[in-house]
Structure 1
């Protein structure tokens, strides 16, 4: 694995973990929340600079269903993150208190809603690239062969993660967080570890769902080509 690919993986992993930490607002407090948010912004800019060739190639090549889905999700993720970051700066009370905002309730709503939607879209975004991520990890770890036992074990693990993710999503009222703004926040008394496990498992629902849905679509497209 070349250094650029390794840096991309480390950058994306750090951004994902820090986005989760930023969501734990009532655990970290406002100052840490804002500092982590600034770091996420820097990593997000780096992510887009490292993948700038992708933007240049959007209109080039064949636009099949998987590629259209990827373009749509990636652009939606970009818009969501931009809205979240702009609203974050405007409502900042610790790092950017000098920005005068008379009525920031609408901006707070935009920030909270885009944060939760960005969390879900980020998981779908990762799911679209999961095959590439796994291949990169295999090359990095030297795993080249296939193993039925390993495959079965990983699929069982995926099912368990998704099952716990569904439980966490229902218990944490994720649906309400996506569609309903609560000006008083969504406070819970979970520990940091519990918070991370719950939200990683919720991400697992969308990563696994997107990954296997994409594999199904690609399989159907190959069958269609073979028939023709």
Structure 2
């Protein structure tokens, strides 16, 4: 694996973990939340800079079902994250307190809702690149061959993660958070570790769902090509 690809993976991994930490607002407190948010903003800008060629190639080449869906998700992720970060700066009380905002309730709602939607869209975004991520990890670890036992083991692990993710999603009231704004916050007594495990498992639902849905779409497209 070349250094650029490794840097991309590390940048994206750190950004993902920090986004999860930023979501744990009532565990970290406001100052840490804002500092982590600024770092996420920087990493997000780096992520888009490193993938700038993708934007130039949007209208080029063949637009398959997979590619159309990926373009839609990526652009939606960009818009959602941009709205979340702009609203974050405007409502900041510690790092950017000098920005005068009289009635910030609408901005707070925008920030919270886009944060939760960004979390879900980010997981789907990762799901689109999951095959590439796995192949990169294989090259890093020197795994070149296939193993039926390893494949079965990983799929069982994926099922367990998804199952726990569904449980965590209901426990964390994720559906309500996506559609209902609670000005008093969503309090819980979770530890930082449990919060991260729960939300990583929730991400697992959308990563696995997207990955296997794309494999199904790809197999259907191959069948159509073979028939023609």
Question: Normalising by the residue count of structure 1, what TM-score does the alignment of the two structures yield?
Answer: 1.00
* CA–CA separation in structure 1 for the residues paired with 2:20 and 2:178: 16
Count residues with an aligned counterpart: 228
Is 1:208 the counterpart of 2:205? The answer is: no
Q: Give the equivalent residue in structure 1 for 2:99.
A: 99
Q: Give the equivalent residue in structure 1 for 2:126.
A: 126
Please report how far the alpha carbon of residue 157 of structure 1 lies from its aligned counterpart in structure 2 after TM superposition. 0.2
Q: Give the equivalent residue in structure 1 for 2:166.
A: 166
> Secondary structure of the residue that 2:112 maps to in structure 1?
helix
* CA–CA separation in structure 2 for the residues paired with 1:89 and 1:110: 12
Which sections of structure 2, spanning at least 5 residues, go unmatched? none
User: Please, what is the CA RMSD of the aligned residues?
Assistant: 0.3
Which sections of structure 1, spanning at least 5 residues, go unmatched? none
Q: Give the equivalent residue in structure 1 for 2:217.
A: 217
Please report how far the alpha carbon of residue 223 of structure 1 lies from its aligned counterpart in structure 2 after TM superposition. 0.7
1:13-44 deviations in whole A, cap 9, x for unaligned? 00000000000000000000000000000000
Q: Give the equivalent residue in structure 2 for 1:116.
A: 116
Is 1:9 the counterpart of 2:9? The answer is: yes
Extract structure 1 runs of 4+ deviating beyond 4 A: none
1:144-198 deviations in whole A, cap 9, x for unaligned? 0000000000000000000000000011100000000000010101000000000
> Secondary structure of the residue that 1:169 maps to in structure 2?
helix
Is 1:43 the counterpart of 2:43? The answer is: yes
Please report how far the alpha carbon of residue 105 of structure 1 lies from its aligned counterpart in structure 2 after TM superposition. 0.1
Q: Give the equivalent residue in structure 2 for 1:24.
A: 24
Q: Give the equivalent residue in structure 2 for 1:175.
A: 175
1:52-108 deviations in whole A, cap 9, x for unaligned? 000000000000100001000000000000000000000000000000000000000
Please report how far the alpha carbon of residue 121 of structure 1 lies from its aligned counterpart in structure 2 after TM superposition. 0.1
> Secondary structure of the residue that 1:146 maps to in structure 2?
coil
* CA–CA separation in structure 2 for the residues paired with 1:147 and 1:109: 48
